Structure 1
Amino acid sequence: MTRRSSAPLLLALAAGVSPAAGARADETRANETRADETREEVPSTIAVLCAPGDRFGLRVVAELESLGFRVELLDPAAEPVSRASLEASARQAGAIAAIRAIPSGRGVEVWIADRVTGKTVLREMASRAGDGGAEELDDAALALRVVELLRASLLEASLPEPPPGELPATPEIREKLRVPAPSALADAPAPAHPQPAPAHAQELHVSLAPGVLLSPGGLGAAVSADLGLAWMPSEHVGVVAFAAIPLTSARHERPDLSVDLSALLVGGGVRFTPRARRWAPSADLGLAALSLRTAGLVAGADATTGESSAVTVAPFTRLGLAFAVTPWLRLRADVLTGAIVQGVSVQIEGNEIATWGRPFLLSSAGVYIRWF
């Protein structure tokens, strides 16, 4: 009996198996290619790396899904965080970006691998300590900041010369994150030259304030009504005018005589004030005209009366402070001081009874109304 060689049989089996195995291998490669192509056709996928049940990671997922993104959850296990591992996870999920957050001493450390701009963003976000409700609220706020950080990274794709990345910023991505196309910025008109700040509007103020007029020299104080007008053509300098109308007289009284003096002041000058704020101080310098009238009575068997008048001028300074109740109404207090060079001498029968005007002081407080 002749022994036949087994080589032809082995060759035949090999020939029969090779086509089937090759077909299955080709089919497997085709399926993987189709899977990769399918993943690349979903440009709105974001990979989020977090442990199962991680509360903060789920918050990030919820924020992304609310924007219409498809989220791929990946378990990083014990893999250390790095740019290379994060980019690999994004490619594995067919995602445009991968996000991973790890606890830090102050809160969380967020890593974002952005395949559209080709860069990795690292940011530490501080959290707030508190009760359970506060921590839950803080997780939601931090998750929103993570999404905004991703959006800020993707915004670089809108630059006229965007950074090179692995994936283009598709219209779908631009719509979801409202990222403008580079051409939109390139074709945008150049910003106009900045306009100068508007000039200070001219203002006219009217004031009404009761006041007290007094001067050392033997006569008492008198009550007056202080009417004022201020025109401010600029923010810091203006012109003022005022009139102090006497309501009572300054009196000097003794058993044998009495003397009354009434003083009408009319003046004008320049006002200086700093930048208008709620509290606004001011300083006025000017010249005042004074109309003085005296009336005296000498008691006794031969009672006599007498009157006299005089007009003079005197320089004055006035310091004021206004408090803005509304843009149109202010409360204001002023102190005006001046001096008549020679002073006024009140005499009866050649005898000096009192003096007035070296110096004089008018203090008032009232309302200050903006007319326009």
Structure 2
Amino acid sequence: MTRRFAPLLLAAATLAAGASLAKGASADETQSEAPSTIAVLCAPGDRFGLRVIAEIESLGFRAELLDPAAAPASRASLEASARAVGAIAAIRAVPTERGVEVWITDRVTGKTVLREMVDDGGTPDRDAALALRAVELLRASLLEVALPAPPPGEVPATPEIREKMRVPSPAAPPPPAERASPALRLSLAPGVLLSPGGFGAAVDIHLGLAWMPSEHVGAIGFAAIPLTSPRIERPQGSADLSVLLAGGGARFLLAARASPWAASADLGLAAVSLWSTGVASAGFRASGSAAVAVSPFASFGLSFALTPTFRLHAAVLASGVLQGVSVQFAQHETATWGKPFILSSAGIELGLF
């Protein structure tokens, strides 16, 4: 009978031993998982100590009240008290003539702080004011766990401590406001005016004004003032032709107004003023003439912004005069101009506002 129940007794003993070991391990684990406990050394009923406990618990920590009895106020005794209850820190206040002398040991950062807090008599609740200052002193010490390289301590900072002492990252400064691209722009560019038919190219100065109230659509005006006059020479004499252009229309931007690179297309009407002067050889008679015509035009441009108000700009304008201009020598047509003509320019754009 004894032999039959021996295995059962052995199994029960093993289970009991296992349960005891598990209970001990659980107790040890509970002891090690109480990193948020802060020991407060004060006599039972001490008003200052009770206020310190209230402030600690308001921060979300657990407070353990310990009676210091006759133990001297020292770093060694304070650290021993914290270790005895598995606390991360311990606080003790010793009354002085002017206030209290506060001892704080922080096992997470490995620091012990001694600070005398003077009662200036300016607050009605002396104990509450001094207790708040003492707990803030402890909190300032624990905040060092948020540093990139926190000081080594006797116990590691747990995730709970790191979360409570986490310092929010400073908000990134807002990006500088981008300066708005000016809506009114003045362009200045040398240009070359060319028309097939016998006359050479003419150099002019191109002045333009663009108003872009929206990002993609606006209005333009321009004038091309001649600087040179192409000449034709024949045995009968010579003829010079001067061309003045002025016009306006609509501009369409293919990119946002403030884009570094911006392509544009202009459509409108141009007034073409032409006048010619002739010099006749011996035996011939010279005459001059002038004419004004209106013609549609199309212009294509490309600009690049060096700054919000300063851009480089190049454009090509194409148009044509229906009747054109004819130059005759001895009643024979020698050259024509205007069917079609092209004005190319490259220069700068300045933003006005």
Question: The TM-score by the shorter chain falls in which range?
Answer: 0.5 to 0.7
Q: How far apart, CA to CA, are the structure 1 residues paired with 2:260 and 2:181?
A: 17
SS in structure 1 at match of 2:322 = coil
Partner of 2:273: 291
Give, in angstroms, the shift of residue 325 of structure 1.
Answer: 2.2
1:350 aligned partner, one-letter code: Q
Which whole-Å deviations, capped at 9, do the CAs of 1:86-107 have from their partners, x for residues lacking one? xxxxxxx4x541xxxxxxxxxx
SS in structure 2 at match of 1:178 = coil
Contact 2:261 2:305 in 1 (8 A): yes
Contact 2:212 2:218 in 1 (8 A): yes
Is 1:281 the counterpart of 2:263 in the alignment?
A: yes
Q: How far apart, CA to CA, are the structure 2 residues paired with 1:179 and 1:204?
A: 46
Equivalences for 1:156-195 in 2 at 5 Å? 169=164, 173=165, 177-178=166-167
Q: How far apart, CA to CA, are the structure 1 residues paired with 2:320 and 2:107?
A: 86
Give, in angstroms, the shift of residue 243 of structure 1.
Answer: 0.4
Partner of 1:81: none
Contact 1:317 1:337 in 2 (8 A): yes
Q: How far apart, CA to CA, are the structure 2 residues paired with 1:264 and 1:330?
A: 26
Partner of 1:228: 208
Is 1:39 the counterpart of 2:87 in the alignment?
A: yes
Is 1:322 the counterpart of 2:311 in the alignment?
A: no
The total of aligned residue pairs comes to 220
TM-score (norm: length of structure 2): 0.54
Q: How far apart, CA to CA, are the structure 1 residues paired with 2:149 and 2:182?
A: 55
Give, in angstroms, the shift of residue 234 of structure 1.
Answer: 1.1
Q: Would the alpha carbon gap of residues 314 and 44 (structure 1) be closer, same or farther in structure 2, given more than 3 Å must change?
A: farther
Give, in angstroms, the shift of residue 65 of structure 1.
Answer: 8.7
Partner of 1:334: 315
Q: How far apart, CA to CA, are the structure 2 residues paired with 1:350 and 1:299?
A: 15
| % same residue | 48
Q: Would the alpha carbon gap of residues 178 and 255 (structure 1) be closer, same or farther in structure 2, given more than 3 Å must change?
A: same
* Aligned-pair Cα RMSD in Å: 3.4
Q: How far apart, CA to CA, are the structure 2 residues paired with 1:240 and 1:179?
A: 53
Partner of 1:208: 188
Partner of 2:226: 246
Could you list the runs of 5+ residues in structure 2 that have no partner in the other structure? 1-30, 32-65, 67-76, 91-104, 110-143, 170-176
Give, in angstroms, the shift of residue 369 of structure 1.
Answer: 0.9
Q: How far apart, CA to CA, are the structure 2 residues paired with 1:342 and 1:220?
A: 19
Bigger Cα displacement from structure 2, 239-248 vs 280-289: 280-289
Q: How far apart, CA to CA, are the structure 2 residues paired with 1:65 and 1:368?
A: 54
Contact 2:181 2:309 in 1 (8 A): no
TM-score (norm: length of structure 1): 0.52
Contact 2:239 2:277 in 1 (8 A): yes
Q: How far apart, CA to CA, are the structure 1 residues paired with 2:184 and 2:344?
A: 22
Contact 2:247 2:269 in 1 (8 A): yes
Q: How far apart, CA to CA, are the structure 2 residues paired with 1:239 and 1:65?
A: 59
Partner of 1:343: 324
